[in-house]
Amino acid sequence: MNLLLDTHSFIWFIDGSENLSATARREIENPMNKVFVSIASLWEIAIKTSIKKLSLKNSFSNVFKLIEKNGFTIMPVEFSHTKIVSKLKYFHRDPFDRMLIAQAKSEKMTIVGKDELFDKYKVKRIW
């Protein structure tokens, strides 16, 4: 299964946080699954760490090493994803989450995340 990590799921995984559900951790660690981190999530983390709205156990400069260490793939934002964002209903106002929803829909991926608003967009979600 192809998994797209929600920003918080990614942070909680690399930080070893108890906030990540056991199901999410198991699926992320399952070698049968391919795990993706959106460049939109990395952009969100960069912004929030720079304005001190987010702190990581690891510095932002180590995030790429952690992505590689865990065998995750960075998903770029494609024009096709932005087209889907432009047509999404406005259930969710967070622009980063809206991009993740569009990417998951476009690429037929399962989102790993706690946010139940994702379900309104009919994307597969595990938590």
Domains in the chain: ranges and CATH: 2-126 (3.40.50.1010)
Collapsed DSSP state (helix, strand, coil) of residue 45: helix
3-class DSSP assignment, residue 51: coil
Percent of the residues in the chain that have a pLDDT greater than 70, as a whole number: 100
* pLDDT of amino acid 90: 87
If you average pLDDT over every residue of the chain, what do you get?
Answer: 95
In this prediction, residue 55 has a pLDDT band, given cuts at 50, 70 and 90, of confident
Q: Give backbone dihedrals phi and psi of 82, rounded to 5 degrees, phi first.
A: -65, -30
Residue 78: band (very low, low, confident or very high) from pLDDT cuts 50, 70, 90:
very high
Rg of the chain on CA atoms, in Å: 14
Give mean pLDDT, residues 7-18.
Answer: 96
pLDDT at 65 exceeding the cut of 90:
yes
With H, G, I as helix, E, B as strand and everything else as coil, classify residue 122.
Answer: coil
Residue that has been written with the tokens 């065998």 in this structure: 71
